[in-house]
Amino acid sequence: AANSSAKWRIVLGSEASDALEHIERPVVAEDGLAWGYLGDRQGRTIASVNGHTVGEYEWARDLAFSPNGKRYAFFARKADRAFVVTEAGETELEVVMDGSLVFSADSQHWACVVGVTASRELRISVDGTLGPRLEVDELVAPMTQQPRGRDSAVPASPEILRRLVLARVTDFIKTR
């Protein structure tokens, strides 16, 4: 990412993206062949994959690629509706937990943590289908760590949440 005149651009070789006010961390697929970013411009979020705009939303976060690099997904919001957006389209969800979006090891399924307001519970959603319920302590305990000599917990690596979701989705897929 390059910054000029308080605007940010993604630069790859001699190509540069449009100027954006903010860019969420660029993401590269495990195989290195796919890349993308989410960037804000004039109150909207632009989603870009492999140098092509794939959507514009009121809000978008958490871009992820499948292990084989052929699929992408991210959270988005428009008109007070939350979605997981993939290369195949949009799947509406009630409430999504930022930082929880993952793909299964075989690249066939996406999953994330969702909130279900009617039952006041957290669940894993697999391809938009509600999966296993998550207990709050199951979710919070791995995401905080208690350093020696400190009275308050501090956030652990954000990757821990993704690992928890991936473990739960792997188990869920085996039982379907």
Q: Phi-psi bin for 159: left (phi > 0), alpha (psi -120 to 50), beta? A: alpha
- The DSSP code for 41 is E
Question: Within 13 A of 146's CA, how many CA atoms are on the CB side?
Answer: 5
Task: Summarize the confidence of residues 147-175 as an average pLDDT.
Answer: 70
Given a cut of 90, is residue 68 above it in pLDDT?
Answer: yes
pLDDT digits (tens, 9 = 90+) for 156-165: 566 778 888 8
Q: How far apart are CA 71 and CA 110, in angstroms?
A: 9
Residues 6+ apart with CB under 8 A from 37: 10, 17, 23, 24, 25, 26, 27, 48, 63
Cβ neighbours around 64 below 10 Å, total: 21
pLDDT per position as a tens digit, 114-123: 999 899 999 9
The pTM of the full predicted model, rounded to 2 decimals, is 0.82
| Average of per-residue pLDDT values in the chain | 84
Start-to-end CA span in the chain (Å): 42
Residue 141 is given by DSSP the state G
